[in-house]
Amino acid sequence: MLQLGVHVSVAGGLERAVDRAHKKGCQAFQIFTTNPRSWRSRPISAETARLFSLRLKGCGLETVVSHMPYLPNLASPREEVYCRSVGALADELLRCQLLGIPYLVVHLGSNLGAGERSGRERIVEALQKAIIDSGSEVLILLENSPGTRNSMGSTFEDIASIIESLPRQSRRLGVCLDTCHLFAAGYDIRTPQALERTLGEFEGCIDPERLKLVHLNDCRGGLGSHLDRHEHIGLGQIGLEGFRSIVCHPLLRERAMILETPEDSRRDDSGNLEVIRALASDIK
């Protein structure tokens, strides 16, 4: 059975997110543990952590994932932003550990024109420092980017080079593959054959055991458009055949899958979950 879920709100308390995920019929879910558009994070009380853990056990949800806020940029050449970003990552690792969340998804950020080499060095230093400073055992999942201007991590080689630059901390690093970002960056996944080629490239660079999570999002832009615009499953350029291939693939179907699709008049989270479950029914 797929570990399938969505990103859910924590409005009203972190523990409420568990109830929302359970109500949607999720086996997995993703949250922000704090305001994603602020540098400030409210401390998590022991009581909140206790309630969160109790709700998780009570609902029997298999996988919970946290996502880093939007403001941190681990590749930034701007010292003040960079220092705050490293501190935010270390803080979020500790928040995850307190809540019993095993995975933290991290965007690799933008080098802001300073170049890929500079950006990579900044990211490696940031990851190393945050891992050491936090002392947590939470696994950091490096998310691939769509290849927008100056963004880091749009290729498998980029991500592999970061992991390889941290031999002592590499056991603390995993990967999250976002389907919209993959397609926008130029990796074709629209057919079983195309998906197999793309995953072959992935396995040629990165140990597949590092892949812990898949973000399931269709893409509004075309192949290699570098457009980071998520679309409802099957209504974008990847299409239903692409997602049928993804959810039925033996490597990917064993990983937790989180939808980050829009909610609008056309479809909501439940509608997208229903489409994915129908596609997954084709698993032999």
Q: Write down the catalytic residue from 22, 220, 230, 249.
A: 230
Indicate if 215 belongs to the active site. Answer: yes
Q: Write down the catalytic residue from 125, 133, 241, 260.
A: 260
Indicate if 282 belongs to the active site. Answer: no
Indicate if 187 belongs to the active site. Answer: no
Q: How many CB atoms lie within 10 A of CB 83?
A: 13
Q: Write down the catalytic residue from 15, 92, 143, 231.
A: 143
Indicate if 269 belongs to the active site. Answer: no
Indicate if 67 belongs to the active site. Answer: yes
- Rounded Cα–Cα distance for residues 224 and 32 (Å): 29
- Rounded Cα–Cα distance for residues 98 and 193 (Å): 42
Q: Write down the catalytic residue from 67, 210, 220, 232.
A: 67
Indicate if 107 belongs to the active site. Answer: yes
Indicate if 178 belongs to the active site. Answer: yes
Indicate if 260 belongs to the active site. Answer: yes
Q: Write down the catalytic residue from 7, 22, 107, 244.
A: 107
Closest listed residue to residue 98, CA positions, set 48, 28, 30, 32: 48
Q: Write down the catalytic residue from 42, 50, 70, 157.
A: 70
Q: Write down the catalytic residue from 178, 218, 231, 269.
A: 178
The secondary structure of residue 220, as a DSSP letter, is: S
Indicate if 230 belongs to the active site. Answer: yes
Q: Write down the catalytic residue from 7, 122, 210, 215.
A: 215
Q: How many CB atoms lie within 10 A of CB 49?
A: 17
Closest listed residue to residue 142, CA positions, set 127, 121, 131, 122: 127
Say which amino acid occupies 257.
Answer: M
Closest listed residue to residue 185, CA positions, set 170, 208, 202: 202
Reduced to 3 states, what is the DSSP secondary structure of residue 144? coil
Q: Write down the catalytic residue from 37, 40, 117, 149.
A: 37
Indicate if 274 belongs to the active site. Answer: no
Indicate if 172 belongs to the active site. Answer: no
Active site residues: 37, 67, 70, 107, 143, 178, 181, 215, 228, 230, 260
